[in-house]
């Protein structure tokens, strides 16, 4: 293996579910973690989010992903990974997916493997276990994931349909200081749903798709209030969702709000002309939380120029 060149990889935050799009829709957000890869002795250095909590040895997720794609450890590859984390950890913003993406791409670049978005998405979904976050992180923009029915001749296959950047939308993230594990958020969900709930869920997801694909603001606004599969069940875990909706209804013309992934982050959905209004109102009412205006990321994980 030749002496590695110095380069930087970045990966965006991502939000899964998007209200009624439970486990199906995902969105990339323009908040990026970066990893500088340079010749070294196998060190992992972390600044920013999680710097005091995340491991800096070969158990680090970025280092593990690197080893998977490069076929060797960062020490054997003689590289150091300098990580700058901007995505809060365990907040429903895809921090682990971004970390895995950076590690996978870093490994492929070191061994000069010509990777593409499809390969990254497949490897990410297998490594991270969150297909909606993986697809958003790999492709950027808004994505729709769906399973092809399994047949006796083949295993079930996950397809990804990129829906574009939806640059007519802006998000304001309300990020609590506390974390929420995906396992805890999953534990409150029922194992089965009745027929009425299933029909309501299909209708809500259809509204979401129609609003996003066609740019129909009124359909999207309706969709953001229709989830029956996960947000009502997680209401006690994330009381901020109801509070954010109350603020938006009382003081803004925002389209609505959804959990980001499993929470506890809440996303306020806005048109460009209501974006500043929503950010200002949320900053006042949720001064103890982090309020972060975010654009939808048009590109996924990448090697930065």
Q: Residue 82 pairs with which residues in a beta bridge?
A: 36, 45
Give residue-wise pLDDT tens across range 272-288: 999 999 999 999 999 99
The reply to whether 7-161 and 166-295 are identical in fold is no
Q: Which CATH architecture has domain 166-295?
A: 2-Layer Sandwich (3.30)
Rg (the chain; Cα; Å):
19
Q: What is this structure's pTM?
A: 0.93
Q: Give me the residue spans of the domains in the chain.
A: 7-161, 166-295
Give residue-wise pLDDT tens across range 203-261: 999 999 999 998 999 999 999 999 999 999 999 999 999 999 999 999 999 999 999 99
Give residue-wise pLDDT tens across range 120-161: 999 999 988 788 999 999 999 999 998 765 554 554 556 899
Position 2 confidence tier, pLDDT thresholds 50, 70, 90: low
Determine the 3-state secondary structure of 153 from DSSP. coil
Q: Are 19 and 83 in contact (CB under 8 A)?
A: no
- Among 16, 293, 31, smallest CA distance to 169 is for 293
- 7-161: CATH number: 3.30.230.10
pLDDT score at 133: 94
| Number of residues that make up the chain | 305
* Average of per-residue pLDDT values in the chain: 94
Q: What percent of the chain lies above the pLDDT cut of 90?
A: 89
pLDDT score at 4: 67
CA triplet 188, 282, 289: central angle to 5 degrees?
Answer: 60
pLDDT score at 230: 97
């Amino acid at each position: 293996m030749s002496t590695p060149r110095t380069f930087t990889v970045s990966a965006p935050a991502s939000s899964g579910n998007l209200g009624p799009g439970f486990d199906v829709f995902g969105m990339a957000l323009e908040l990026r973690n970066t990893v500088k890869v340079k010749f070294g002795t196998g060190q992992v250095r972390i600044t920013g989010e999680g710097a005091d909590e995340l491991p800096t040895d070969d158990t680090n997720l970025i280092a593990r992903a690197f080893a998977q794609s490069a076929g060797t450890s960062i020490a054997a590859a003689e590289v150091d990974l300098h990580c700058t984390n901007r995505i809060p950890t365990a907040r429903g913003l895809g921090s682990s997916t971004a970390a895995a993406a950076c590690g996978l791409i870093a490994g492929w670049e070191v061994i000069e493997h010509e990777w593409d978005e499809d390969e990254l998405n497949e490897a990410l979904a297998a490594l991270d276990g969150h297909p909606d976050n993986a697809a958003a992180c790999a492709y950027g923009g808004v994505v729709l994931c769906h399973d092809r029915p399994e047949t006796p001749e083949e295993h079930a296959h996950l397809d990804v349909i990129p829906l574009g950047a939806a640059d007519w939308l802006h998000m304001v993230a309300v990020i609590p200081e506390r974390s929420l594990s995906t396992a805890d958020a999953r534990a409150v969900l029922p194992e089965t749903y009745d027929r009425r709930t299933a029909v309501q869920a299909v209708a809500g997801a259809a509204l979401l798709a129609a609003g996003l694909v066609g740019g129909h603001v009124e359909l999207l606004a309706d969709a953001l209030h229709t989830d029956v599969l996960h947000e009502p069940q997680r209401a006690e875990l994330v009381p901020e969702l109801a509070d954010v909706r109350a603020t938006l209804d009382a003081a803004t013309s925002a389209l609505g709000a959804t959990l980001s992934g499993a929470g506890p982050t809440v996303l306020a959905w806005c048109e460009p002309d209501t974006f500043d209004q929503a950010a200002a109102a949320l900053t006042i009412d949720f001064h103890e939380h982090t309020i972060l205006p975010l654009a939808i990321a048009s590109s996924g994980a990448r090697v930065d120029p």
